[in-house]
Amino acid sequence: MSDGGGWRDRVRAALRPLDPYHVPPLPAAVKLDANESPYSPPAAFLDALAEEVRGVALHRYPDPRASRLRAAIAADLGQPEERLVLGNGSDELIGLLASTFAEPRLGEREARMVYPGPSFVVYRTAAAAAGMEVCEAPLGPRFEADYDALAETLARARPSLVFVATPNNPTGTEWPRAAIERLVLEHPDVVIIVDEAYAAYSRTSFLDLVDRAENCAVMRTYSKIGLAGLRVGVLVAQPALAREVEKVRPPYNLGTLPQLAAELAIRRFSGELTRHVDEVVAERERLCAAFATLPGVEWFPTSANLVLIRVAEAHRVFAGLASRGVLVRNLSRPGPLAGCLRVTVGTPDENDRFLTALRAVLAS
Ligand SMILES: Cc1ncc(COP(=O)(O)O)c(C=O)c1O
């Protein structure tokens, strides 16, 4: 029996107005648009990996528990193995969390997700796919953390699931410890995910909160520190919460080669990865100092490997940079991000080329 309409009416209503994630394929000599590390892993790592790949049984499924990688990550984070849920990037974990914690509260039709925004777009798409309603809590006028606005949104929306990215993408905002502690401890009936995708660049972490609160989980990724191509993310939670998320994790979500490569990198080359992070932090400070001297550029304090700036005529500036071989992310649209471009911190040479191009575009 048909109730009319076509297959399009079967698409979740919340998904219909959204666009698929799309990065315009612009050729760029200087790629500062995706918050990756500008440094590839060391040659010695690639040599060791090539050696190990020879012994891999690619006709077999991967280890569904990713046991060796799990042990390496557990040691890296100083966490027991049973607290970890591994994801194909933290993107996948966000989707799994939304699927797991999409239960509406008693007497309500829809479950809700809250996050301080503007923030990472995948929260919204994961919510839409899981049938959750999104309530964005506003950041301050200069994208600073606003605990009162977040607490007020929680009181109004009564969400099932909250994400707080600290540092945040695309704003670089870092949340104070007292705010996150209060959020977690005062809302024991809400699942609160602290997304630490950029924690290496802020050198702060809320992993200790997982010991103290069963409703709190911390999410990390190896993407931002030099291993984006491997797609390895991890959720750290007490075993009871981790077990619920494990129920929806596809059993073979991490391929054999990413498991092998990430284990090798974490066990044997983490010193190099950390050195690269230190270089990016130093370059971030240099970039911000340069922005401070550029009339017509407003920049926002950041603790990540990215800087959000606001300029007049953002679309023209974006296109002018692209025509000079420098790709940044154009986030300008009506609302709080009007006029905003996001710049990933690159190598010293890349940052120089970006600054030269920016000065030329602003002067033209
Ligand atoms: C705040 C935040 N969380 C999670 C991710 C996802 O990272 P990945 O899927 O590469 O682990 C990103 C990537 O940009 C991000 O900005």
Q: Which range of residues forms the domain containing residue 240?
A: 54-269
Same domain, 113 and 250: yes
State the residue for tokens 């990198």: 265
Q: Which residues of 233-244 are buried (b: 16+ CB within 10 A; e: fewer)?
A: bbbbbbeebbee
Considering the domain boundaries, does residue 101 fall inside one?
yes
Ligand 1 binding pocket includes 223 (Cβ within 6 Å): yes
Considering the domain boundaries, does residue 47 fall inside one?
no
Q: Maximum distance among all alpha carbons in the chain? A: 68
Residue 1 has what pLDDT? 55
Considering the domain boundaries, does residue 169 fall inside one?
yes
Considering the domain boundaries, does residue 2 fall inside one?
no
| Count of domains forming the chain | 2
Summarize the confidence of residues 239-245 as an average pLDDT.
Answer: 98
- Last residue within a domain, chosen from 241, 269, 297: 269
Residue 199 has what pLDDT? 97
Stated pTM of the model: 0.96
Ligand 1, atom 12: closest residue by C-alpha: 197
Same domain, 173 and 304: no
Ligand 1 binding pocket includes 120 (Cβ within 6 Å): yes
Same domain, 319 and 358: yes
Summarize the confidence of residues 166-193 as an average pLDDT.
Answer: 97
Considering the domain boundaries, does residue 141 fall inside one?
yes
Residue 331 has what pLDDT? 97
CA geometry: angle at 201 spanning 200 and 203, to 5°?
Answer: 65
Same domain, 259 and 285: no
Ligand 1, atom 16: closest residue by C-alpha: 169
Residue 20 has what pLDDT? 87
**Mutation test residue for ligand 1: of 35, 139, 169, 218, the one with most atoms within 8 Å of CB:** 169
Confidence category of residue 347, pLDDT binned at 50, 70, 90: very high
Same domain, 71 and 162: yes
307-326 residue pLDDT tens: 999 999 999 999 999 999 99
CATH of the domain at 302: 3.90.1150.10
- Last residue within a domain, chosen from 219, 244, 269: 269
- Last residue within a domain, chosen from 234, 269, 304: 269
Q: Give the ligand 1 atom nearest the CA of 168.
A: 1
Same domain, 258 and 319: no
Same domain, 104 and 217: yes
Ligand 1 midpoint to CA 88 (Å): 11
Residue 18 has what pLDDT? 87
State the residue for tokens 């109730």: 3
Same domain, 158 and 247: yes
Same domain, 83 and 205: yes
Q: Give the contacts of 326 (CB within 8 A, at least 6 positions apart).
A: 28, 29, 30, 32, 353, 354, 357, 358
Q: Give the ligand 1 atom nearest the CA of 92.
A: 9
Give 204's DSSP letter. Answer: -
Same domain, 71 and 34: no
Ligand 1 binding pocket includes 238 (Cβ within 6 Å): no
Same domain, 159 and 291: no
Confidence category of residue 206, pLDDT binned at 50, 70, 90: very high
**Both tokens of residue 11?**
């698409």
Ligand 1 midpoint to CA 119 (Å): 11
**151 closest CA partner among 195, 120, 182, 177:** 182
Q: Is 147 exposed, middle or buried (0-12, 13-18, 19+ CB in 10 A)?
A: middle
Ligand 1 midpoint to CA 94 (Å): 9
Q: Is the pLDDT of residue 284 over 60?
A: yes
Summarize the confidence of residues 169-183 as an average pLDDT.
Answer: 97
Considering the domain boundaries, does residue 245 fall inside one?
yes
